[in-house]
Structure 1
Amino acid sequence: METEWKNHNRDRTHYGFEEKEKKWQGPYFFIQAADCQLGLIQRYLEKNPTPGWQQEIALTKLAVEKINKMNQKPKFFVICGDLCDAFPAKEPALRAEQEKDLKDILSRLDPSVPLVCVCGNHDVGDQPTKQDLLSYQSSFGDDFYSFWCGGVFHIVVNSQFWFDSTLVQEEAEKQDQWLEEQLRILKTSEAKFGLIFQHIPWFLSDYEEEATVYFTLRPEIRQKWLPKFREAGVKAVFCGHYHRNAGGFFEDLEMVTTTAIGAQLGSDESGMRIVKVLSDSVEHEYFPFEKFPDSVQL
């Protein structure tokens, strides 16, 4: 069944979930993916000067088809950033074409599965401007928001604010203040625990590692927020951006980095991650599309 595209979040709250989702109803699972990034393969891997994204279209269609064929549907499908490749400010016409094709594909997702979009650097710019943020919001909804699902509190953040907020300092401060409040809600609520979705990883494998130039956030920001996440009850942070699978722990807080639906920069294959949410833990496994299961045992 095809549905019309619509934004799924507003007023900093995802409206694909009902009030009853604040209560634990037993184990569930969701699908996490990242970096559809329509246009990257041809532009970056193949060095083709002619824009094109047929390969990403095929892979993103496959992602939707795999979810739609599942015997038991996931509670939601989250894409952790870089929805398309063209930067909105640099190539607005090209970006519009990519977004149109992406939305056409995602509108085919089974309507019983809420779609959760996370913004990446290619969605709001490496150094975002206010117009970049407005452009994203007009296309995909809020760039940071929260929602309840199955008694777990989920927080979606715009990690680009922590990468470079030079031109959007006021907006970055608003997210920081909002995030402090969300962590307070998590800590004082009856939530089983919290989960966070963002684009850029805090680290790739080790909390003590040095920051990369591009693929992780700076250590001083990591040192500010991860202890707060853990203290509030966040159990895991799910990311993309790296175009490879990676991950590690800060004490018992897990960092999960999932490779792309689209272009691969390492040895992984395109696919998605199945995340099982249990009463006191989170289990997850990455599956290439050719091995993606039709059912999930909880």
Structure 2
Amino acid sequence: MSAAEAGGVFRRAQGRTLDAFPAEQEREWKGPFYFIQGADPQFGLMKAWSTGDCDNGGDEWEQEIRLTEQAIQAINKLNPKPRFFVLCGDLIHAMPGIKAVFSGHYHRNAGGTYQNMDVVVSSAIGCQLGNDTHGVRVVVVTADKIVHRYYSLDELSERGIEGDLMDLMKEK
């Protein structure tokens, strides 16, 4: 059983709705509330910054992990509790052995390679600004490689993930 199932701690969106904020309860103003906005945990930047080499040296995350845990502990102690927590900005600065960066926001498929790192932009589930279909990208990570493929929503619904990708996920 996952933590979400056990304690209902994590909320998931379904049917374009987040059940943490039911429409019947949220239609009318019920008074002031607050939320917490955090930004830029940027794992790896503190070492890179301290060594003066921001293009490298992001292979240690201990300080950022400690600070993020401190933030979570402080927020969990608050009374009354915040309505929700939003984390924005740069989540990581560097990751040891990073081979690919996956992003969106361009609303079409794109990408390239920069200094032996693949940059992969996935098209949108929603509004398309190019000729790509509405879809998602399936990314399979093994010890040796990263393989990714864009699927239209229709393809994924009708056929699922292709056999060669499924084979990569089998334990060896």
TM-score, normalised to structure 1, is: 0.30
Asked which structure has the greater RCO (Cα within 8 Å, sep 6+), the reply is 1
Bigger-Rg structure (1/2): 2
